[in-house]
Structure 1
Amino acid sequence: MKKWTKSAAAAAALIAAISLQTGAPAVHAAEAVPQAAPGGGPTTAPAAASAKTAHANAVFNQMMRLLKSPSKQAEAVAYMEKNIYQVTPWQATIMVLKLENAEKANLDAWNDKFYRDNVQQKLTKLMKQGDDLTSLISKTNDKSLKTLFAGARDSGYRIDTAEGMFYLVLDYPRLQKVRAYVINDIKSYIDIMTAETKSPFARDAALSVGWTEATKRALSDEAFLKSYPTSNRATQVKSLYNLYLGVSMYGLNNTPMFDYDTKKVDPEGKAALQAAVQKGDPSKSAYLKKIKGFLEVLEKNHDMLTPEVEKYRKAATGNS
């Protein structure tokens, strides 16, 4: 249970620590083809096309300049949301990914401000279920808190809590505002990360999304990797896939797949795995093939965690 028995805070850190690539995204040929004007005629006159390209380049270059300075991150977020429609899909994609890189790079510095004892104490009294940074701004008269909350929100973060601690995460749901302007693999990536942000997989060392949702997310991540194997964010999604593959066989500290004392499999966990295999096609899914094998070895061992079952899941998850 070493790799998959992390606390909720550590689990959140795992999501936050998924490595970032800084190169340009792979632009698929079909997505890079310029669109013809209605009626099949030329898109624009050469001069107008040149002016449009120059303007798009100017917008893109300004975004890149803003991202060079952490102090201008909030300005970069606002600038992108206001102007992204004026650039090409490729440029829009670079803007979004570079912004994500910057938000990741500056996250620790922002969280250091929130981890201060006086801020944590005030948040404990102030924050209620359903609150976000905007609602917290309206609930306090503390000017320094208002400034802190507004700065974090405007810089692309949202507040979350686990094990009595309050901390910031990237506000992926906010990227839905610009989703329409990026290329297809990054559209899908934004959707995956939006789901992870709205419903984190773990809370207080327990699986918070349920066994069935864990299998669905594993399959969604696997589908992304099949559709976009060269995506700039394939590495991040692969990390999530491996996470859910491990959760499917190990569980978490407070939601173990096997009872610590009896070594008996969790009936709900097993049922979720069985349903996933029955609904899907193990011949077309590496994930389902591994889960099917896991269920078979479970059946052979009367649903008990035996050395044979342990050996299988270690090999299947690469946790040996």
Structure 2
Amino acid sequence: MMKWTKTTATAAALIAAISLQGGAAAVHAMNAAPKAAPGGAPIVVPAKTAHANAVFDHMMNLLKSPSKQAEAVAYMEKNIYQVTPWQATIMVLKLENAEKANLDAWNDKFYRDNVQQKLMKLMKKGDDLTSLINKTSDKSLKTLFKGARDSGYRLETSEGMFYLVLDYPRFQKVRAYVTNDIKSYIDIMTVETKSPFANDAALSVGWTEVTKRALSDEAFLKSYPASNRATQVKSLYNLYLGVSMYGLNNTPMFDYDTKKVDQEGKAALQAAVSKGDPSKSGYLKKIKGFLEVLDKNHDVLTPEVEKYRKAATGNS
């Protein structure tokens, strides 16, 4: 469980730290399907099914090689409509896994001093990898930017550094073909990518948005408790539960000197509780209890308030 201290990691680092599962067991089950009917008679596979299997198998083969990641992205986007929803879902999850696994290697290329210096001069607000490709005349930079973009990444900046993250909004192109839980997962991660919750250890979104995201993550976990991506969404939920009571290093819920609660933060929590139903939401139930202990302690971070939020968030 993440510790909500002054050394709390930045949003990008925390999101990147969420472990990804690959649906490997499901893929293994597919590959282990019987090749013949009882009695030894060969199974006749319909042409449509055989084609779908061929598309799926080709995608899996592409993902075996990091050098073919960009080819895999393009292939999936072009051909995903030809496979079953189950196969499409595995394709998306496996691609996400590959992008995550290869992210550090890609970022190592961007962390080079000469690349960082060139980006500092080149990049303006609103630029993305495509606009940078068009803007620069440096052939090596063009190649680097195009390779990163086509491999499924997007460029972000925080604390004076430029770095890559997974381009979850791009998964919206294939959202229609996957199962409902992964549709919702893609939507959650798209929001996280388009509007990161923090930058430079400070909230980039309002306190109200923090409560909305916590409730959205909680709703996903209630609807899809057995989803392949339940673990990742649970990590996000725990993140926002913690932020709701602690804030972040540079946007604390309590003033470091006076120990008084942030009134905007408290108001957002009150609004969430009044609009929702704490009897049906574990998140709102914990927030309601937090507000009650706050009122009892006159909005000051006392040992009693500290004890409550540690217990509520699982911090020791």
TM-score (norm 1): 0.91
Partner of 1:294: 290
1:109 aligns with 2:105: yes
Partner of 2:59: 63
Partners of 2:7 and 2:194 lie apart in 1 by 19
Determine which of 167, 182, 186 is the counterpart of 1:186.
182
Q: Secondary structure at the match of 2:164?
A: strand
Task: Provide Cα deviations, 1:150-175, integer angstroms capped at 9, x if missing partner.
Answer: 00000000000001100000000000
How far off is 1:4 after superposition? 2.5
Partners of 1:86 and 1:154 lie apart in 2 by 22
How far off is 1:299 after superposition? 0.2
User: Are the counterparts in 2 of residues 206 and 254 from structure 1 also a CA contact under 8 Å?
Assistant: yes
Partners of 2:83 and 2:298 lie apart in 1 by 59
Partners of 1:91 and 1:243 lie apart in 2 by 31
1:203 aligns with 2:177: no
Q: Secondary structure at the match of 2:10?
A: helix
- Cα RMSD (Å) of the superposition? 1.6
1:276 aligns with 2:280: no
User: Are the counterparts in 1 of residues 11 and 196 from structure 2 also a CA contact under 8 Å?
Assistant: no
Partners of 2:166 and 2:143 lie apart in 1 by 18
Partners of 1:81 and 1:269 lie apart in 2 by 41
Partners of 2:17 and 2:281 lie apart in 1 by 27
1:234 aligns with 2:230: yes
Partner of 1:171: 167
Partners of 1:193 and 1:143 lie apart in 2 by 32
How far off is 1:9 after superposition? 6.2
- Rate the CA distance shift 1:6–1:189 in 2: closer, same or farther, 3 A: farther
- The answer to which structure, 1 or 2, has the higher relative contact order (CA under 8 A, 6+ apart) is 1
The amino acid across from 1:198 in the alignment is K
TM-score (norm 2): 0.92
Percent identity of paired positions between Structure 1 and Structure 2:
89
Partners of 1:239 and 1:223 lie apart in 2 by 14
Determine which of 83, 88, 92 is the counterpart of 2:88.
92
Task: Provide Cα deviations, 1:158-207, integer angstroms capped at 9, x if missing partner.
Answer: 00000110000000000000000000000000000000000001011101
Partner of 1:303: 299
The amino acid across from 1:77 in the alignment is V
Task: Provide Cα deviations, 1:10-47, integer angstroms capped at 9, x if missing partner.
Answer: 32111011001122598xxxxxxxxxxxxxxxxxxx98
Task: Provide Cα deviations, 1:110-133, integer angstroms capped at 9, x if missing partner.
Answer: 000000000000000000111000
How far off is 1:237 after superposition? 0.1
Partner of 1:74: 70
How far off is 1:5 after superposition? 4.2
How far off is 1:8 after superposition? 8.4
Partner of 1:18: 18
1:157 aligns with 2:174: no
How far off is 1:3 after superposition? 1.7
Give 5+ residue unaligned stretches, structure 1: 27-45
1:263 aligns with 2:259: yes
Partner of 2:3: 3
- Rate the CA distance shift 1:50–1:74 in 2: closer, same or farther, 3 A: same
Task: Provide Cα deviations, 1:49-75, integer angstroms capped at 9, x if missing partner.
Answer: 700000000000000000000000000
